[in-house]
Structure 1
């Protein structure tokens, strides 16, 4: 792939296994519309009155620390962790309806990287990635963990090493290369 100024763009890294896309999340919630949707971060659930205050979709172009052009799509869902909505968490169906309403006005790439911005209105907003929702009791829970920084050239190199090691040790290859 080429950048707008015809420089080769580095191949995109696959999403981390723990990353979730907006499409993955909506698909997982589809059969649980009436169940409370509980996001967990910092070892605790968001308050029952949390709000989805903003949903943003972005297409990003950047230069990584190895001078490689990068590009990706990302969706940001901003959660305001407050206790203003009543004694129960938002139903999964209401969350999905909010995302559908946004999609009526903003192009949302279902396969884009998904990042949650979470704040209680006092502490600074933190960036989090989400894991696959799970059923816990009568609720759907989504665990959010801080989104770490990474070095994309190093990450690509590690992926190449892992792939080379896997192909070297595949059935039918001599054991000499498998150490």
Structure 2
């Protein structure tokens, strides 16, 4: 099977996130989504690993690993944002029981317990104002054959029409 390696996408990996947090273990870790920071009492309620095999709309086989980190965005009495080191320790504890591929695509599932859970991809963490900040952007659907064709167009100086590999749904 000639599968597309999704770890080459623009998503950051679990390993990149953990490596970025290592130098700032004592700093608060603040995730931002929907133009707001998570509340100071947020919880990491679940970490799960998946191996996926699929067929895209162009009948191309795909395979990838993905790690899902579920955040429950709640506020609790006098709690502060968890330190980056505590988040990393939670991931290490999970890895004692579940095989976590550090190169896997990383997806955050976020809910405040009222609104439905939504999927987000993470940007590279940055240290600002004495905290580690990670921006989460909504994970959008896409047409992978179209995405590949567009990527080829930006890498190519050719002005040729799209090939059959650029077609989807077919």
Q: How does 1:1-179 map to 2 (within 5 A)?
A: 2=1, 9-13=2-6, 14-16=8-10, 19-84=11-76, 86-165=78-157
Contiguous gaps of at least 5 residues in structure 2: 159-170
**Aligned position for 1:5:** none
- Alpha-carbon contact 2:120-2:136 (below 8 Å) kept: yes
Once residues 85 and 135 of structure 1 are traced to their aligned partners in structure 2, the CA distance between those partners, rounded to angstroms, is 26
Once residues 10 and 36 of structure 1 are traced to their aligned partners in structure 2, the CA distance between those partners, rounded to angstroms, is 39
Paired residue secondary structure (1:53): strand
Once residues 53 and 30 of structure 1 are traced to their aligned partners in structure 2, the CA distance between those partners, rounded to angstroms, is 21
How far apart are residue 85 of structure 1 and its match?
6.0
How far apart are residue 150 of structure 1 and its match?
0.7
> Does the C-alpha gap of structure 1 residues 76 and 32 become closer, same or farther in structure 2, counting only changes over 3 Å?
same
How far apart are residue 165 of structure 1 and its match?
2.1
Aligned residues: 157
The CA RMSD measured in Å over matched residues stands at 1.3
Runs of 4+ in 1 over 3 A off after TM superposition: none
TM-score for both structures, normalised by structure 2: 0.88
TM-score for both structures, normalised by structure 1: 0.84
